[in-house]
Amino acid sequence: MRDLFQVHTVNMSIAVWVGFLALFGIATDDAVVICTYLKQRFQEVKPSTLSEVRAATVYAGERRTRACLMTTATTVLALLPVVTSRGRGSDIMVPMSLASFGGMLLEVITMLVVPVLYSWREERRLR
């Protein structure tokens, strides 16, 4: 299994930083998708109590989870051949894709953190 996924020491290089930049771009894109829908939902509903704020947040979060999961899944699936490659150029591509691949597995946290922070902000605004 170690040989298939090439688990070995990876030096921090420009390729790794490019992988992190791609990861941050996708995570930011998912956050924008969720925040945009949250904003639209709050403009539509105009909640006046804490329970309405939380209900609007849960509704918006549920509606955009599929879109964000599809983005994450397609990126992870697209990186699998790159992570397991051994041919010419793999010495550059594998470190770049490892940063994005590992980060995409943790990027799912974005779908949980962004609605919570948005709800917190709206709850503070009500007080």
**Is 7 a domain residue?**
no
Distance CA 103, CA 110 (A): 11
Q: Mean pLDDT lowest for which of 26-30, 65-69, 75-79, 85-89?
A: 85-89
Q: What is the pLDDT of residues 26-54, one digit of tens each?
A: 888 888 999 999 999 999 999 999 999 99
Count CB-CB contacts under 10 A for residue 68: 22
Give the structural domain span for 69: 14-126
Distance CA 89, CA 17 (A): 17
pLDDT at residue 18 in the model: 85
pLDDT at residue 110 in the model: 82
**Is 48 a domain residue?**
yes
CATH number of the domain enclosing 94: 1.20.1640.10
**Is 8 a domain residue?**
no
This prediction's pTM: 0.78
Q: Please state the three-class secondary structure of 21-51 as a single string.
A: HHHHHHHHHHHHHHHHHHHHHHHHHCCCCHH
**Is 3 a domain residue?**
no
**Is 9 a domain residue?**
no
Name the domain count of the chain. 1
**Is 88 a domain residue?**
yes
Distance CA 125, CA 26 (A): 29
**Is 44 a domain residue?**
yes
